[in-house]
Amino acid sequence: MDEEKRNLRHKLQNAEQRELSLKRLVERAADEIDDLAEAECSEEAITSAKAQAERLRKVGKSE
């Protein structure tokens, strides 16, 4: 039973670490979209990119 608990705890910690990594990846992608949107794009493209970046940030922060 202790071995099973240890294995489950290990799996949970791995899953939590993956979730944290994915949230960081999403946040970084949102930041990159913001940066690209400001690089000589039309106002419509900038607005669209910033909206997408904001959606990514919301996904990254949801639990």
Return the amino acid letter for 60.
G
* pLDDT recorded at residue 42: 82
- Does the reported pTM lie above 0.75? no
How far is Cα 41 from Cα 37, in angstroms, rounded to an integer?
6
User: Residue ranges per domain, the chain?
Assistant: 2-61
Helix, strand and coil in the chain, % to nearest 5: 85, 0, 15
pLDDT in tens, 6-61: 999 999 999 999 888 888 888 888 888 877 777 777 888 888 888 888 888 887 77
